Amino acid sequence: MGKHRIFTTSFASVYPHYITKAEKKGRTKAEVDEIIRWLTGYTQKALEKLIENRTDFETFFDKAPQLNPGVSKITGMICGYRVEEIEDKLMQKIRYLDKLIDELAKGKAMEKILRN
């Protein structure tokens, strides 16, 4: 079986959807970026460059400086799956991000989203 289509999708093509989802619920692009930086360890400048270069999800997560150690605290359902039980590590990272953006859109406080 080949790679899942999302792995080769550019992060830049999905990023605006994260922002739209957040903004529809009164949240901001800055909060979306903060979540992405927290999860991946990218700086804002590095994140912007990855978006500009249309980096795919696989490369985006492979080159991430450091996945936040707090990811083990991200639990619950996303797209019909429990994020903590997803076996494919790349898919799990993508779903972690989806879950965090969902929490933002649902009005959860940033300190809770960032597992502080």
Q: Where are the domains of the chain?
A: 5-108
Distance CA(74)–CA(58), nearest Å, equals: 20
> How many angstroms separate the CA atoms of 70 and 68, rounded?
5
Residue 79's Cβ-side half-sphere holds a number of Cα atoms within 13 Å equal to: 14
User: What percentage of the chain exceeds 90 in pLDDT?
Assistant: 91
For residue 32, which of 53, 48, 54, 10 has the smallest C-alpha distance? 48
Q: What CATH number labels 5-108?
A: 1.10.8.290
| Half-sphere exposure of residue 115: CA atoms within 13 angstroms, side-chain side | 14
18-59: per-residue pLDDT in tens? 999 999 999 999 999 999 999 999 999 999 999 999 999 999
CA distance 106 to 62: 29
Q: What per-residue confidence (pLDDT) applies to 2?
A: 61
CA distances 69 to 4, 7, 29, Å, are 25, 22, 23
Q: Are the beta carbons of 49 and 56 closer than 8 angstroms?
A: no
